[in-house]
Amino acid sequence: MKEVYRYVSRVAILMACLAMNAVCLAQGRASSNVYDERSSEEEDEKSRRGKWVLERRFDLGQNFPNPFSSSETTSIDYRIAGDPGALLIVYSSDGRKQMTIPLALDKTRVLIQGGQLSAGTYIYALFVYGRIVEKKKFILKP
């Protein structure tokens, strides 16, 4: 009898969730009919532009050349907005921090000498406000 009760209660919960979903969808359709098509298109365009601006405030490029040898230098382009105290941190493939480079607002490129690291695969990450904004990988040949 207990199993039947559990089954019935699970079905009731599922039905309630489906009903709530249907109500939310119906309300969404009703509210979208209030505005004309042009204003909703303008709002979509504004939100797309706003998202692009937020996503592009910080940018980390792929290093060049990749892979590179220990006798070469690789360059990493970056772009940061404002004065966030951004850092470029290089990690080895096992997750150990190898180098920390503070990024300047007046520059857009960092150079890394291959001789500073041993051969292997590395991940470099752009840290802004204490969070990883973007990360990439490079390979250092012997």
**Distance of alpha carbon 45 from alpha carbon 17, whole angstroms:** 33
User: Which structure tokens are listed for 13?
Assistant: 């919960």
- Mean pLDDT computed over every residue of the chain: 76
Boundaries of every domain in the chain = 2-55, 59-141
- Domain 59-141 -> CATH class: mainly beta
Q: Are 134 and 125 in contact (CB under 8 A)?
A: yes
Q: Tell me: pLDDT of 10 over 60.
A: yes
pLDDT recorded at residue 8: 59
Q: Tell me: pLDDT of 136 over 70.
A: yes
Sign of CA dihedral 14, 18, 24, 28: positive
The average pLDDT across 40-49 equals 57
pLDDT tier, 31 (very low <50, low <70, confident <90, very high otherwise): very low
Tens-place pLDDT, residues 47-100: 555 544 445 578 899 999 988 998 999 999 998 887 668 899 999 999 999 999
Tens-place pLDDT, residues 110-125: 999 999 999 999 999 9
Share of the chain above pLDDT 90, in %: 40
The average pLDDT across 22-36 equals 44
